[in-house]
Amino acid sequence: MAGLDLTHRPRRLRRAEWSRRLVRETVLTANDLIWPIFVIEGQGQREPIGSMPMVHRLSVDEAVRAAVRARDLGIPALALFPNTDPTLRDEKGAEAFNENNLVCRAVRAIRKEVPEIGVMTDVALDPYTSHGHDGLMRGDEILNDETVEALIRQALNQARAGCDIVAPSDMMDGRIGAIRAALDKEGFEQVQIMAYAAKYASAFYGPFREAVGSGGLLRGDKRTYQMDPANSDEALREVALDLEQGADMVMVKPGLPYLDICRRVKDEFGAPTFAYQVSGEYAMIMAAVERGWLDHEKAMVESLVAFKRAGCDGVLTYFAPFVAEKLARQA
């Protein structure tokens, strides 16, 4: 046809499945997944979460079963989030330092029954505070340095329980270096740190706050410590600081709306880079799936491949067991 330049026919490579497989640039495998799990008190409990279809809050024994499932599916690590009894929440988040708190008991149980799996715990006070904030407060102010002292105690408590990775999600200044030093001093030099390095003050955490029971409590918002969604250069400065202070891995959060940040972080630092496909992202996809507007498997896989394409080494995602099952079926 006149006027068409067909020196190149890019569609040639897309004609057959074998050819598409041959030129595929990124692959998603179970090795890329970290599975976040919500933990509650009790035995044999699997409590559905309204805004997160197919996700449950699990009692410790059920969390152990989830860990077995994860191991069998080849998922390398779990991230644990406790839903703390409201009567144990106070202004200072004291329950965070209790060596027998829910998350510590979950860590010990999983460690014992499923030693092959990596266990990550969140370092931030929000599951424990009566005001729902990640830090200590004076009036309306979230105190930085006092909070870092508390986070150190919380991280040490989790390390003593046997966690493999501590993940500070609080966005206080200087906490990575302080936690690293404290861990080393107590002989936990092998405990890894995954820094929530570029964590944004996002609307997409809503379902998570329902899951851990902090949503109704939250006084105000988190914009004095979590980042402004409008900023990108600032994310690089945050990541640089966390890496300088000894973070082993860095995370961008939320995920899909921040893929540009993932790419910049990976290109700039070349460090192990993760994204958190957060609760609201999961809820959006699942809400559409429930209405029959999106195909569950296709939407799930496409959303996760996007992270690999953007340069991430892995993803924290509530889809972890479902996508790992799908990948296992294919293999």
Q: Which residues are catalytic?
A: 199, 253
What phi and psi values does residue 46 have, to the nearest 5 degrees? -135, 95
- CB nearer to ligand PBG: give 192 or 277: 277
Cα separation of 76 and 30, whole Å?
A: 8
User: Nearest approach, Cβ of 4 to ligand PBG (angstroms)?
Assistant: 48
- Residues ≥6 apart with Cβ < 8 Å to 280: 202, 203, 204, 205, 206, 207, 208, 254
Residues 211-230 as x/- pattern, contact with ligand PBG by CB under 6 A: -----------x--------
Q: Quick one: which segment of 10-18, 148-156, 204-212, 291-299 binds ligand PBG (CB under 6 A)?
A: 204-212
Q: Quick one: which segment of 25-33, 93-101, 145-153, 205-213 binds ligand PBG (CB under 6 A)?
A: 205-213
User: Nearest approach, Cβ of 14 to ligand PBG (angstroms)?
Assistant: 35
Count interface residues toward ligand PBG (CB under 6 A).
12
- CB nearer to ligand PBG: give 209 or 266: 209
- CB nearer to ligand PBG: give 35 or 208: 208
> Is position 205 an interface residue for ligand PBG (rule: CB under 6 A)?
yes
> Is position 37 an interface residue for ligand PBG (rule: CB under 6 A)?
no
Cα separation of 312 and 232, whole Å?
A: 17
Token couple for 189: 């030099």
Task: For 4-57, give the DSSP string.
Answer: ---S--GGGGGSSHHHHHHT------GGGEEEEEEEESSSS-EEE-TTSTT-EE
> Is position 83 an interface residue for ligand PBG (rule: CB under 6 A)?
no
> Is position 169 an interface residue for ligand PBG (rule: CB under 6 A)?
yes
Q: Are 125 and 168 in contact (CB under 8 A)?
A: no
Task: For 74-115, give the DSSP string.
Answer: T--EEEEEE---GGG-BTT-GGGG-TTSHHHHHHHHHHHH-T
Q: Quick one: which segment of 122-130, 237-245, 301-309, 319-327 binds ligand PBG (CB under 6 A)?
A: 122-130
Q: Quick one: which segment of 17-25, 120-128, 136-144, 177-185 binds ligand PBG (CB under 6 A)?
A: 120-128
Cα separation of 208 and 220, whole Å?
A: 17
When binding is defined by CB under 6 A, the residue of 124, 236, 250, 275 that contacts ligand PBG is 124
Return the bridge partners of 46, or none. 58
Q: Helix (H, G, I), strand (E, B), or coil: what is residue 171?
A: coil
> Is position 208 an interface residue for ligand PBG (rule: CB under 6 A)?
yes
Cα–Cα distance list, 218 to 90, 91, 113, 131, 210 (Å)? 13, 12, 35, 5, 11
> Is position 210 an interface residue for ligand PBG (rule: CB under 6 A)?
no
Taking CB atoms, the residue at the shortest distance from ligand PBG is 208
Ranges within 126-155 binding ligand PBG (CB under 6 A): 126, 134
- CB nearer to ligand PBG: give 126 or 238: 126
Show the CA angle centred on residue 31, arms to residues 46 and 296, nearest 5°.
55
Q: List helix spans (H) across the chain.
A: 17-22, 60-73, 102-113, 144-161, 175-185, 206-212, 233-244, 259-269, 279-290, 296-309, 320-330
> Is position 278 an interface residue for ligand PBG (rule: CB under 6 A)?
yes
Q: Quick one: which segment of 118-126, 140-148, 239-247, 298-306 binds ligand PBG (CB under 6 A)?
A: 118-126
Q: Please report, as ranges, the residues that interact with ligand PBG according to CB under 6 A.
A: 122, 124, 126, 134, 169-170, 205, 208-209, 222, 278-279
